[in-house]
Amino acid sequence: MFFYLLPSKAVLIDSNEELVNFYKVVQSNLPALLKDLEKHQNARDYFYRIRAADVNKMTEVERASRFLYLNKTAYNGLFRVNRNGQFNVPFGNYKKPKIKDKENLNQVSKALKGVEILTGDFERVLKYAQKGAFIYLDPPYHPLSVTARFTSYTSNDFGVEDQKRLAVVFRKLDQKGCLVMLSNSDTPLIKELYRGYNIAKVYARRAINCKGNKRGVITELVIRNYG
Protein backbone atom coordinates (compact mmCIF):
# COMPACT_ATOMS: atom_id res chain seq x y z
CA MET A 1 0.00 0.00 0.00
CA PHE A 2 2.80 2.40 0.90
CA PHE A 3 4.69 1.77 -2.34
CA TYR A 4 1.46 2.14 -4.31
CA LEU A 5 0.43 5.45 -2.74
CA LEU A 6 3.92 6.91 -2.16
CA PRO A 7 2.67 9.49 0.35
CA SER A 8 4.93 12.47 1.09
CA LYS A 9 4.68 11.81 4.83
CA ALA A 10 4.34 8.34 6.33
CA VAL A 11 4.99 6.14 9.35
CA LEU A 12 5.49 2.39 8.86
CA ILE A 13 5.20 0.04 11.85
CA ASP A 14 5.86 -3.71 12.06
CA SER A 15 6.83 -5.96 14.96
CA ASN A 16 9.28 -7.97 12.85
CA GLU A 17 12.71 -6.55 13.73
CA GLU A 18 14.40 -8.12 10.72
CA LEU A 19 11.88 -6.57 8.32
CA VAL A 20 12.17 -3.15 9.96
CA ASN A 21 15.97 -3.31 10.04
CA PHE A 22 15.95 -4.23 6.34
CA TYR A 23 13.87 -1.22 5.34
CA LYS A 24 15.95 1.09 7.53
CA VAL A 25 19.18 -0.10 5.90
CA VAL A 26 17.68 0.27 2.39
CA GLN A 27 16.59 3.77 3.39
CA SER A 28 19.89 5.00 4.80
CA ASN A 29 22.72 2.69 3.83
CA LEU A 30 21.95 1.20 0.43
CA PRO A 31 25.52 1.29 -1.02
CA ALA A 32 26.81 -0.86 1.87
CA LEU A 33 23.92 -3.29 1.46
CA LEU A 34 24.50 -3.63 -2.30
CA LYS A 35 28.14 -4.40 -1.62
CA ASP A 36 27.34 -7.01 1.04
CA LEU A 37 24.79 -8.74 -1.23
CA GLU A 38 27.63 -9.68 -3.59
CA LYS A 39 28.88 -12.37 -1.19
CA HIS A 40 25.79 -14.59 -1.38
CA GLN A 41 25.61 -17.93 -3.17
CA ASN A 42 22.50 -19.72 -4.32
CA ALA A 43 23.60 -23.08 -2.92
CA ARG A 44 21.97 -25.42 -0.42
CA ASP A 45 24.87 -25.67 2.06
CA TYR A 46 25.44 -21.93 2.01
CA PHE A 47 21.70 -21.28 2.49
CA TYR A 48 21.52 -23.46 5.62
CA ARG A 49 24.65 -21.82 7.04
CA ILE A 50 23.22 -18.31 6.56
CA ARG A 51 19.84 -19.47 7.87
CA ALA A 52 21.41 -20.77 11.11
CA ALA A 53 23.69 -17.73 11.62
CA ASP A 54 23.16 -15.65 14.75
CA VAL A 55 21.82 -12.21 13.73
CA ASN A 56 22.86 -10.77 17.09
CA LYS A 57 26.49 -11.09 16.02
CA MET A 58 25.92 -9.23 12.75
CA THR A 59 25.97 -5.58 11.76
CA GLU A 60 22.70 -4.01 10.64
CA VAL A 61 23.86 -4.20 7.02
CA GLU A 62 24.73 -7.90 7.33
CA ARG A 63 21.33 -8.61 8.90
CA ALA A 64 19.53 -6.77 6.10
CA SER A 65 21.60 -8.63 3.53
CA ARG A 66 20.75 -11.99 5.13
CA PHE A 67 17.06 -11.05 5.27
CA LEU A 68 16.93 -10.27 1.55
CA TYR A 69 18.99 -13.34 0.65
CA LEU A 70 16.61 -15.62 2.57
CA ASN A 71 13.59 -13.88 1.04
CA LYS A 72 14.90 -14.57 -2.47
CA THR A 73 16.17 -18.12 -1.96
CA ALA A 74 13.85 -19.70 0.62
CA TYR A 75 10.91 -21.81 -0.49
CA ASN A 76 8.08 -19.62 -1.83
CA GLY A 77 9.77 -16.47 -0.50
CA LEU A 78 8.17 -17.24 2.81
CA PHE A 79 9.23 -15.58 6.07
CA ARG A 80 8.47 -17.83 9.00
CA VAL A 81 10.22 -18.38 12.32
CA ASN A 82 9.87 -20.98 15.06
CA ARG A 83 9.06 -20.31 18.72
CA ASN A 84 12.69 -19.40 19.38
CA GLY A 85 12.62 -16.82 16.63
CA GLN A 86 14.80 -18.90 14.26
CA PHE A 87 14.02 -18.70 10.56
CA ASN A 88 12.83 -22.18 9.51
CA VAL A 89 11.83 -22.09 5.82
CA PRO A 90 13.68 -24.67 3.66
CA PHE A 91 15.89 -23.94 0.65
CA GLY A 92 13.83 -23.05 -2.44
CA ASN A 93 16.26 -24.46 -5.02
CA TYR A 94 15.45 -21.74 -7.57
CA LYS A 95 17.50 -21.58 -10.78
CA LYS A 96 18.36 -17.87 -10.87
CA PRO A 97 16.94 -15.90 -7.94
CA LYS A 98 17.52 -12.16 -8.33
CA ILE A 99 19.20 -11.57 -4.98
CA LYS A 100 20.62 -8.17 -5.91
CA ASP A 101 18.07 -6.14 -7.86
CA LYS A 102 19.91 -2.82 -7.81
CA GLU A 103 17.34 -0.91 -9.84
CA ASN A 104 14.46 -1.94 -7.59
CA LEU A 105 16.36 -1.34 -4.36
CA ASN A 106 17.30 2.14 -5.56
CA GLN A 107 13.66 2.98 -6.14
CA VAL A 108 12.65 1.54 -2.76
CA SER A 109 15.36 3.59 -1.08
CA LYS A 110 14.14 6.78 -2.77
CA ALA A 111 10.54 6.07 -1.79
CA LEU A 112 11.56 5.61 1.84
CA LYS A 113 13.36 8.95 2.18
CA GLY A 114 11.92 10.87 5.12
CA VAL A 115 9.64 8.01 6.17
CA GLU A 116 9.57 6.96 9.81
CA ILE A 117 10.09 3.18 10.10
CA LEU A 118 9.38 1.71 13.52
CA THR A 119 9.52 -1.68 15.22
CA GLY A 120 6.71 -2.47 17.57
CA ASP A 121 3.20 -3.57 18.24
CA PHE A 122 0.39 -2.09 16.12
CA GLU A 123 -0.92 -0.17 19.15
CA ARG A 124 1.92 2.27 18.55
CA VAL A 125 -0.09 3.67 15.64
CA LEU A 126 -2.37 5.44 18.15
CA LYS A 127 0.49 7.73 19.11
CA TYR A 128 1.12 8.83 15.54
CA ALA A 129 -2.35 8.91 13.99
CA GLN A 130 -3.74 12.39 13.55
CA LYS A 131 -7.20 13.44 12.50
CA GLY A 132 -7.61 13.07 8.73
CA ALA A 133 -4.69 10.62 8.34
CA PHE A 134 -5.12 7.50 6.22
CA ILE A 135 -4.20 4.33 8.13
CA TYR A 136 -3.85 0.94 6.45
CA LEU A 137 -3.77 -2.08 8.75
CA ASP A 138 -2.46 -5.30 7.19
CA PRO A 139 -2.34 -7.85 10.03
CA PRO A 140 -1.52 -11.55 9.93
CA TYR A 141 -4.73 -13.07 8.66
CA HIS A 142 -7.15 -14.87 10.93
CA PRO A 143 -6.81 -18.54 9.80
CA LEU A 144 -9.63 -19.97 7.67
CA SER A 145 -9.36 -23.28 9.51
CA VAL A 146 -7.36 -24.73 12.37
CA THR A 147 -5.02 -26.48 9.93
CA ALA A 148 -4.53 -23.41 7.73
CA ARG A 149 -2.61 -21.56 10.42
CA PHE A 150 0.17 -19.44 9.06
CA THR A 151 0.63 -16.58 11.46
CA SER A 152 4.25 -16.90 12.49
CA TYR A 153 6.01 -13.95 10.89
CA THR A 154 7.38 -13.34 14.36
CA SER A 155 7.92 -15.84 17.15
CA ASN A 156 4.71 -14.71 18.85
CA ASP A 157 1.63 -16.08 17.14
CA PHE A 158 -1.06 -13.58 16.23
CA GLY A 159 -4.12 -15.11 17.84
CA VAL A 160 -7.80 -14.27 18.40
CA GLU A 161 -6.88 -11.96 21.30
CA ASP A 162 -4.65 -9.95 18.97
CA GLN A 163 -7.42 -9.74 16.35
CA LYS A 164 -9.72 -8.38 19.09
CA ARG A 165 -7.07 -5.92 20.26
CA LEU A 166 -6.65 -4.75 16.67
CA ALA A 167 -10.39 -4.20 16.27
CA VAL A 168 -10.26 -1.94 19.35
CA VAL A 169 -7.43 0.04 17.74
CA PHE A 170 -9.50 0.31 14.53
CA ARG A 171 -12.38 1.80 16.54
CA LYS A 172 -10.11 4.24 18.36
CA LEU A 173 -8.64 5.44 15.05
CA ASP A 174 -12.15 5.86 13.71
CA GLN A 175 -13.08 7.95 16.75
CA LYS A 176 -9.98 10.09 16.24
CA GLY A 177 -11.23 11.02 12.76
CA CYS A 178 -8.76 8.93 10.72
CA LEU A 179 -9.63 7.15 7.48
CA VAL A 180 -9.01 3.50 8.30
CA MET A 181 -8.68 0.50 6.00
CA LEU A 182 -7.95 -3.06 7.08
CA SER A 183 -7.58 -6.29 5.12
CA ASN A 184 -8.19 -9.72 6.60
CA SER A 185 -9.50 -13.16 5.75
CA ASP A 186 -13.19 -13.79 5.18
CA THR A 187 -14.15 -15.48 8.46
CA PRO A 188 -17.11 -15.15 10.87
CA LEU A 189 -14.85 -13.73 13.60
CA ILE A 190 -13.59 -10.88 11.42
CA LYS A 191 -17.11 -10.03 10.20
CA GLU A 192 -18.28 -9.97 13.79
CA LEU A 193 -15.40 -7.80 15.04
CA TYR A 194 -16.02 -5.13 12.39
CA ARG A 195 -19.81 -5.24 12.29
CA GLY A 196 -21.24 -1.81 11.46
CA TYR A 197 -18.30 -0.82 9.23
CA ASN A 198 -18.11 -0.96 5.47
CA ILE A 199 -17.10 -4.58 4.75
CA ALA A 200 -16.33 -5.48 1.12
CA LYS A 201 -15.49 -8.91 -0.23
CA VAL A 202 -12.59 -8.96 -2.65
CA TYR A 203 -11.14 -11.77 -4.69
CA ALA A 204 -7.47 -12.30 -4.06
CA ARG A 205 -4.93 -14.61 -5.58
CA ARG A 206 -2.77 -16.17 -2.93
CA ALA A 207 0.89 -15.91 -3.88
CA ILE A 208 2.12 -17.65 -0.76
CA ASN A 209 0.76 -21.00 0.28
CA CYS A 210 2.78 -24.12 0.92
CA LYS A 211 0.09 -26.26 -0.69
CA GLY A 212 0.12 -25.66 -4.45
CA ASN A 213 -3.54 -26.59 -4.86
CA LYS A 214 -4.59 -23.95 -2.30
CA ARG A 215 -3.05 -21.17 -4.34
CA GLY A 216 -6.22 -20.35 -6.25
CA VAL A 217 -8.57 -17.39 -5.93
CA ILE A 218 -10.12 -16.88 -2.49
CA THR A 219 -12.29 -14.19 -0.95
CA GLU A 220 -10.83 -11.73 1.52
CA LEU A 221 -12.33 -8.77 3.34
CA VAL A 222 -11.48 -5.10 3.00
CA ILE A 223 -12.96 -3.16 5.90
CA ARG A 224 -13.23 0.64 5.92
CA ASN A 225 -14.77 3.29 8.17
CA TYR A 226 -15.60 5.39 5.10
CA GLY A 227 -17.69 4.91 1.95
Q: Which stretch binds ligand SAM (CB under 6 A): 45-53, 96-104, 107-115, 154-162?
A: 154-162
30, 160, 190 from 171: Cα distances, Å? 38, 17, 14
Report the residue number, 1 or 43, with the smaller CB distance to ligand SAM: 1
Report the residue number, 32 or 222, with the smaller CB distance to ligand SAM: 222
Q: Please give the Cα distance from 201 to 214 (Å, whole number).
A: 19
Question: Of 156-195, which residues contact ligand SAM (CB under 6 A)?
Answer: 158, 162
> How do strand 217-224 and strand 198-205 relate by DSSP bridges?
antiparallel
Name which position in 97, 139, 143, 159 contacts ligand SAM (CB under 6 A): 139
Residue pair 176/195 in contact by the 8 Å Cβ criterion: no
Could you tell me where the beta strands, DSSP code E, fall in the chain? 11-14, 116-119, 134-137, 179-185, 198-205, 217-224
Q: Which stretch binds ligand SAM (CB under 6 A): 9-17, 92-100, 172-180, 206-214?
A: 9-17
Report the residue number, 41 or 155, with the smaller CB distance to ligand SAM: 155
Which residue ranges make up the site for ligand SAM (CB under 6 A)?
14-16, 19, 121-122, 138-140, 153-154, 158, 162
